[in-house]
Amino acid sequence: MFRGGHLSAFFLGGLQVSSKGDLANWIIPGKMLGGLGAMDSVSTGAKIIVCMTHLTNKGEPKILERCTLPLSGAGVIHMLITDYVNKGEIVFFCKWFFRRCFRSKMNK
């Protein structure tokens, strides 16, 4: 679906994001994780909306001046939603976003 350009936006989780819109979400060095298609997703040109917690489990910020983890994409983030946002605003945004996306697809 996403490699064919059929989707106009992606909601992704993030391990770190930078102030320049860089996204690191595919691997933590030394861990047996990664390779979940994030690089394919961010390279499509679709809007990238990252949803994540604002802090790590150790209380360190995930929004950094520069990512320290390997990047999935540089300057690819269009919107960032963290747990520091009012939940009502997220619900409103999701309803607006899906109405807008589905209406534009249905009118074609």
Task: Specify the CATH architecture of the domain 9-106.
Answer: 3-Layer(aba) Sandwich (3.40)
pTM surpassing 0.85? Answer: no
CB 27 within 8 A of CB 34: yes
Res 105: pLDDT: 46
How many CA atoms lie within 13 Å of 33's alpha carbon, on the beta-carbon side? 12
- Each residue's pLDDT tens digit, 47-63: 888 988 888 889 888 98
Res 43: pLDDT: 74
Give 90: exposed, middle or buried? Use CB within 10 Å, 0-12, 13-18, 19+.
Answer: middle
Q: Where are the beta strands (DSSP E) in 35-92?
A: 47-52, 63-64, 77-82
Give 21: exposed, middle or buried? Use CB within 10 Å, 0-12, 13-18, 19+.
Answer: middle
Low-confidence residues in the chain, pLDDT < 70: 1-5, 29, 32-38, 85-108
Res 66: pLDDT: 93
Q: Spell out the domain ranges in the chain.
A: 9-106
Res 68: pLDDT: 92
